[in-house]
Amino acid sequence: MNSEQNEIYSKVVRAGKRTYFFDIKSTKGNDLYITLTESKKTFSEDGDGNYQKHKIFLYKEDFEKFREGLDDVLSKIEELKNQ
């Protein structure tokens, strides 16, 4: 199966030197999952640029736990900034 065929939705977030891709995809069984990709341009000593990519696969059974963890650390950051 072509990876483009199972892509349902994509959101690109540009943040400084990094770009984040939030992609919703479907399995052959039509279950939805998310891929989170961080892309960062790096340069070699000779000046050539290439992209480093890191990808996380997040499956439906983990959505709520992931959201809880992210919400928790974002709340903690806000709390620490306001001290």
Fold entry, domain 7-81: Nuclear Transport Factor 2; Chain: A, (3.10.450)
Domain boundaries, the chain: 7-81
Quote the pTM value: 0.76
Does the pLDDT at position 8 exceed 70?
A: yes
DSSP string, the chain: --TTTTEEEEEEEEETTEEEEEEEEE-TT--EEEEEEEEEEEE-TTS-EEEEEEEEEEEGGGHHHHHHHHHHHHHHHHHHHT-
**pLDDT tens, residue by residue, 17-75:** 899 999 999 998 989 999 999 999 888 888 888 889 999 999 999 999 999 999 999 99
